[in-house]
Structure formats: C-alpha cells, structure tokens
Chain A
C-alpha cells in the first residue's frame, strides 16, 4: 500500500462519547473509508441512538459518507439546548 492510498482524518468525540475514545485524534485511513468504519472502531452506539455527525462543520452526515483526505469528523451524542 502506498502513501497515496492513505487519507488523514481528524476525529473529534464529544460529551459522553469521550468515554469511548479520545476527544481529538488525527489518524490515517485507507482511501474510500466510510464514517461507519470509525463508528465501529470506537464502538460508538449509532444503532442505539441518533448520533450527530458533522464533517467540516456540515451536519446531518450519515454513516455511508466516504471520507476525504483532510476531513474533520465531529461526532456528538443526541443533544439540544437553547
């Protein structure tokens, strides 16, 4: 596998998801990795609850999203406030 097949992703976890993984980490993945892979890697409870997923500040991202080099992935538990 050449360096060209790798993408660099910043992963940020928030609120109680920080019990399952680091608040912020920069990791390399193979090209065409989906958000699902990261949900699985950290065993984030996406089946149990509607996690809120943002890529580069854009919300409503689904697990099928294919990550691109340099993406910032932010994952939150269901939340709201005001």
Chain B
C-alpha cells in the first residue's frame, strides 16, 4: 500500500484519502509541510480565514525502529508571525500516522457554524463527530475522557481554550505515551489555525496499519545500528548522560553562568536564584515525589530527555517541564519556585498555550504592571483570565507583542512577532543571528548555535564573536533537514561529533526511500526547505528589515557582561544573501 494524504475539507466536513504525489517522495516532516503550504496557501491570506491550511506530517523515518525518530511537523501560515510556520513535536501520534502510511493530513476550508468537531481517523475512514461538549474545558480532564471514550491505544491531538479564543499563542497538543496532554507543537499560533476551521481534536486509531515501507532493509538496519551506537556513546545523549539524567533543564545553570539566562523580561542575564529551578534540583524533587525521570516522549527514543513532573506523593502529573518552559515561566518572570513553575506549566498545557510565548507574554505583562515580577500566584490568576475568556484573557492569549502593545511596554522581546526563547542574544551572539534570520520568527531550535558557542559541541565558537552568519546558516540548513526526517533534533549533538552517526542517519533515509543519498546531500536538502519557506515569507511581505532583533537589544546593555547585540546588519543579511 503506497503512502497517502488525508485531505480534510472543513467547509462541508468531507475527508478523503488521496494518492501521495510521486514528486513528494523524498519529502517528510518540515520539508513536506512547508512545500504543501507554499504550494497551496495564498501568502496574503488571513491566517485564521478559510484560505489558510494546516498540514500535519510525520518525518520520513518516523514509525520505524530508527532510534529517537517519533517527531512530526505542523505547518501553516502563522497568525503570530504572518509568515510560514513549522512547529515540531515528539509524540506516539506521529508514529501512528506514519504506520498508517499517512504522509500528511491537510486541513482546509472553515466550518461555517460555531460548532467544533472531532475527526476520527482509522485505516480506511475519517469521520466527524461533535466536540461541543469539550468547549471551554481544560485539556487534562478532556484527554482522560477522550482516552476512555476511544480506548487507550489511540493517539490524540487537539486544541484548548486559548485556541477557541483564536489566540496567536495557542499550540496543538499531542499526547505523550502516558496519555498526558503535554507534547506540544507549540509555536506560532498553530492551535488557533486548527480551531478557526472548527476542528478541536483528531483521534487516530492505527489498528490494522501496515507499518512504514522500507525499500532497502539492509541499508536501513545498518544505518539504525550506526546511529544507535553514536547516541549510546556520546556523552550528551547516552544513557546516564546529562540529557537523560537531568532533562533539558540541565541548561539552566550553564546558561545562567554564561550570563545569558534572561531575567525579568530580558533585563538581566544572570541571577543566583536560577539554581532553584535548575535541572539538578528538579531531578531531585521528581525522584522524591515519585514522578518519572528519565522518560521518552515517544516509544523508541534512546536519549529519553523527558520526564513527568508531579505534586508531592506523585499526584497530579503535569508531564515534562522543559528548559524553555521553566525559563519562560520562571526566571523570565522573576519566579524561582519550581512548584509555581509547575503549576503555570500545567495551566498552559490545560489551556493549550505555547509555554514560551506564554512566559514571554507574562514577562511583558509584569513589566506593564499586571503583576509583580516573582508573583507566581498572580501569574496563575492572569491565566485564569484566558480560561474565563475575558477581554483581558483575549489580549494575553495573543502573546508577547500584542500584550506589550496593550500595556504600553516597549521592551518587547520578539522577532517577526514571535517571542524569544531562553538565551539572551547580547551574551550569545550566534543564537541572535538565528533568531533574526530564521523564516520561523525567534526560534532557538531553528539553528542551535548555543551548542557550539557554549558547550563546544560540533566545534567551538566564542559567544561574543560577531561573525556568526556561517555558523547560523550551517546549523539552520542542517536543522531543516533533520526536521524532515522525523529524528529528534537532539540526535544532532551526537552526530555533529561522530561522523558514523550522521552516516547512519543518511543510511536509514536511503533504507526507507530506496535512495542513494550521501552525507554531502544533506545541506542542499536542508537549504531547499529554507528556500521554500523564504519564498513564502517574501510573498507574504517580509523583507530584510524583518530579519532584525528589536531595538532594545542593540541599545540596552545586559549584565553581567554589559554587552549589547552588535552583530551588523550586513552580517545578518549574509546568512541568506549572495
């Protein structure tokens, strides 16, 4: 059985399987979502209107036994940035889609009425039922009920109250292996696009799925073996290594030491209290409380950076508290209490909010006087405004830039309208080049220069050096390629240092596709994805002026290094320029 596309027309609630075009054969994940969006979506359309489309695509090797490959991409025109969007998540849902040989789900049109629907997808059918009983409800209770209704083997993605408000900071929530609503394709308001069409949940049941077709078993097996070896030997990714033992929050202390952990809406780069929300402290508490650590966000991950945070006694599991989330809802708000951060993260998951955008928003809300920095309880109350769908809640659900404008705040940490993640570009310049120039809006995962600038993974670079166009471009291109494969980006830490690991990645692709790619083909493949995304953005009205950081990064010095972002505009334009 060949791969298929499931095309869902929300105008008339029709869903049908289509043939997967032969010229898309080498496309998966981000390569596929961005290609379809560029081909089928008018760049000038309203992101929340009938002419936008939402595309969900597992990666090329997702659903196979290749390690750490259970990721998927969600693409559309973003209501937050106004440009093309790819949001990425790790979840069993992606593996189920891939095993059912569904290369992409394309949602189009817009249901006329005000009702919401659930789409249930099985091997040969896709059917709609009303989802109205879940409107206004939190996702934790809702996912529990949905798993009761559909059985605990299904995969679920859905949107919450923030998306019902069409908030530009709403994500699409995928279940983790325990069924918790905690794995987010978070960024860029993808949740609002799904909700705008009248769709609230997609439930996939892969009963009878044939599994992923592998055209060259031998190449595949050999590749998976090489990659597994790299992941289990590299100090960062191996069992008992830092990611496995402490999760992504192991970064809190090192970025704080490096003076690049933004505090209180990007007004300082270091604070000793950050230790209290570090990965070291969190791992200790999780152990005490009987949560889970390590944990895989999808079956088959070797790295297992994930976890389940909970209340004392193992109660009320939240899911993972990622570094970015801990930072956004913690130090960026002057909050240094993990229980406050945990409850804020729970509220975001429950409402369907992107934690990075929500934390950025909370930082400007605090600066604008809606709460004092450090007041976690008041921050939770503010998120209740979203839950209660008040006018203030509608403002907050639209993210950092929108809230800053409403509150008269001028220190607005966004690029292309999207909130900056957890590294201050004044202390670590290469990541600033990525924030400025990725087609996605400020996004650390788009070209993670931190690995080279701070950790010495994939070479070393001085974080204060301002010549970073080449570093950022190389990483952005490699990342785009990885995002197409369905491998977790974290495999990069191992394969950047271990050449056989990278060969293994390419071998597994050759195995699945029956192709003869080499490592030398990877940059060109990645570049072609970025080209498609930049083409869309250009047609949507973006120019080089949009590839800049906000003014305050160029004027206000950041303690403790007392530096500004001094990468020149010429250097920024050199990333994609001639």
A contact set with B: CB distance below 8 Å: 12, 14-16, 18, 49-50, 52, 54, 57, 59-60, 74, 76-82
Enumerate chain B residues within 8 angstroms of A54, measured Cβ to Cβ: 254, 257-258
Q: Does B519 contact A (CB under 8 A)?
A: no
Instruction: Please list 6 pairs of residues, one from A and one from B, whose beta carbons are closer than 8 Å in the complex, sorted by A's number.
Output: A18-B280, A50-B456, A54-B257, A59-B463, A78-B457, A82-B448
Q: Judge whether A59 and B456 touch: CB under 8 Å.
A: yes
Q: Judge whether A79 and B456 touch: CB under 8 Å.
A: no
Indicate which residue in A57, A60, A76, A77 contacts B462 across the interface (CB closer than 8 Å): A60
Enumerate chain B residues within 8 angstroms of A60, measured Cβ to Cβ: 456, 460, 462
Enumerate chain A residues within 8 angstroms of B246, measured Cβ to Cβ: 15, 79
Assuming the A-B contacts A49-B235, A57-B258, are A80 and B253 also in contact, with contact meaning beta carbons closer than 8 angstroms in the complex? no
Q: Judge whether A81 and B251 touch: CB under 8 Å.
A: yes
Chain B 96-123 near chain A by CB (<8 Å), digits 1 or 0: 0000000000000000000000000000
**Stretch of B4-12, B149-157, B175-183, B236-244 on the interface side:** B236-244
| 8 Å CB interface, B196-251 against A | 234-236, 241-243, 245-251
Give the residue among A50, A52, A59, A60 with the most B Cβ atoms within 10 A: A59
Enumerate chain A residues within 8 angstroms of B323, measured Cβ to Cβ: 81-82
- Give the interface size bracket for B toward A: 35 or more
Q: Does B17 contact A (CB under 8 A)?
A: no
Q: Judge whether B490 and A78 touch: CB under 8 Å.
A: no
Enumerate chain B residues within 8 angstroms of A79, measured Cβ to Cβ: 236, 241-243, 246, 250-251, 254, 455
Indicate which residue in A52, A76, A78 contacts B241 across the interface (CB closer than 8 Å): A78
- What's the minimum C-beta distance from B55 to chain A, rounded to whole angstroms? 24
Q: Judge whether A82 and B445 touch: CB under 8 Å.
A: yes
Q: Does B285 contact A (CB under 8 A)?
A: no
Assuming the A-B contacts A14-B253, A15-B245, are A80 and B258 also in contact, with contact meaning beta carbons closer than 8 angstroms in the complex? no
Q: Does B450 contact A (CB under 8 A)?
A: yes
Q: Does B454 contact A (CB under 8 A)?
A: yes
Nearest B-chain residue to A16, judged by Cβ: B245
Q: Does B489 contact A (CB under 8 A)?
A: yes
Q: Judge whether B257 and A15 touch: CB under 8 Å.
A: no
Nearest B-chain residue to A59, judged by Cβ: B454
Assembled-state Cα–Cα distance A60/B457 (Å): 11
Nearest B-chain residue to A72, judged by Cβ: B257
- What's the minimum C-beta distance from A70 to chain B, rounded to whole angstroms? 13
Enumerate chain A residues within 8 angstroms of B70, measured Cβ to Cβ: none
Assembled-state Cα–Cα distance A67/B275 (Å): 24
Q: Does B259 contact A (CB under 8 A)?
A: yes
| 8 Å CB interface, B523-578 against A | 560-561
Enumerate chain B residues within 8 angstroms of A78, measured Cβ to Cβ: 234-236, 241-242, 455, 457
Assembled-state Cα–Cα distance A76/B455 (Å): 9
Nearest A-chain residue to B275, judged by Cβ: A23
- What's the minimum C-beta distance from B450 to chain A, rounded to whole angstroms? 7
- Nearest 4 pairs of A and B residues by beta carbon: A79-B242, A81-B248, A78-B235, A57-B259
- What's the minimum C-beta distance from A82 to chain B, rounded to whole angstroms? 5
Assembled-state Cα–Cα distance A82/B250 (Å): 10
Assuming the A-B contacts A15-B280, A59-B453, are A80 and B236 also in contact, with contact meaning beta carbons closer than 8 angstroms in the complex? yes
Q: Judge whether A80 and B280 touch: CB under 8 Å.
A: no
